[in-house]
Structure 1
Amino acid sequence: MKNRTSNRPARALWLALAALPLFFASCASVPELGGMMDRGGTRNRKILVKLGEQKAYLYQHDKMVAVAPISSGREGKDTPRGRFSVVEKDADHRSSLYGNYVKNGKVVKENIDIRKGGRPAGSKFQGVPMPYFLRFSGAYGLHAGNVPGYPASSGCVRLPKRHAKRFYDAVRVGTPVIVQR
């Protein structure tokens, strides 16, 4: 009878080699920033948002080190263009304009703009979560949120959560943010 355990190392090697292209493909679009953090901290970094491409890029020393899909402001709620800088970082930010009215732990009116309409009696406003918020101009910032593949936000730049965390961890207050068409 043939020993079945003798083929295990060969099979494991074959599986590892087959998985390498998938590993490198995923790293090519959004590299891990952890090791990079030890080389230069957060200095000499900038964020470039290209609205036409619906992508955000992170640069260090003018070398692109990460890219992420985004969802920017929809028609009538445009994301401001120009040169800005990160003025606030808030990992647990909530919107002060958009959210739900809640009473006794239950949503009584959802998807509201606090500037429009009235508040139901006995309810309180609960802003939409905007994790890993990087404010760059007024009420606008980059943060984790729904990224459907087209402009759909109220003006902020949404990134998938894992990308938002990477950008958040990679920059500091004062980091340049450039938003262009």
Structure 2
Amino acid sequence: MNTLFRLARWMVFAVPLILTQCTSIPELGALADNGSTSQRRIVVNLGEQKVRLYHQGKLVAVSPISSGREGKRSPVGSFSVIEKDADHRSSFYGNYVRDGKVVKENIDVRKGGRPPGSKFEGVPMPYFLRFSGAYGLHAGRLPGYPASSGCIRLPKRQAKRFYDAVRVGTPVIVQR
């Protein structure tokens, strides 16, 4: 009986925790080709470090995020998806490369000089959904706290699912 009690107690705490880490409610595949963008919206909650996708007012997906860190905060407000780029690369952050080898890494192209004979290679930002200026949602590293330069990072699988489920024009609400 003691083992059964421990298992039940574990499930009470673990199952909700596991479910909140998943992106699913139903599968999003059917949303990719279904209806207009007026039926969908993305809501980013910076305080919770979560993003939610709604379709016809119903929650259909939730994902953890990593938003902009101190000094490079993510913009707050009402926006819409203005560009989709599945293979986007950063225009500002990346490495200088020469002959296929990195000669200077983790740079901001707006600061410092380019080593002779090298070219800039931006950091990959797969499944990029631009919503304001240089800011967007995309696949990236999630350390468990705000760590980006202002973009909203999602796990790669979730970034693809959100990318496939929305179109240019989909509302994006970013709130603290």
Q: When the two structures are superposed, what TM-score results if normalisation uses the length of structure 1?
A: 0.82
Aligned residue pairs: how many?
159
Question: What percentage of aligned pairs have identical amino acids?
Answer: 74
Q: 1:53-132 counterparts in 2 under 5 A?
A: 53-132=48-127
C-alpha deviations, 1:11-68, integer Å up to 9, x for none?
xxxxxxxxxx8xx958964232113446536551000000000000000111110000
Q: Give the root-mean-square deviation of aligned CA atoms.
A: 2.0
SS at match of 1:165: helix
- Residue 109 of structure 1 aligns to which amino acid in structure 2? K
Match of 2:24 among 30, 45, 48: 30
Q: 1:40-59 counterparts in 2 under 5 A?
A: 40=35, 42-59=37-54
Q: When the two structures are superposed, what TM-score results if normalisation uses the length of structure 2?
A: 0.85
C-alpha deviations, 1:127-178, integer Å up to 9, x for none?
0000000000000000000011100000000000000000000000000000
Larger Rg: 1
Cα gap change, 1:138 to 1:38, in 2 (>3 Å): closer
Q: Which residue of 2 aligns with 1:133?
A: 128
User: Structure 2: where are the runs of 5+ without partners?
Assistant: 1-14
Q: Would you identify which runs of 4 or more consecutive aligned residues in structure 1 move more than 2 Å? A: 24-29, 35-43
User: Structure 1: where are the runs of 5+ without partners?
Assistant: 1-20
SS at match of 2:157: helix
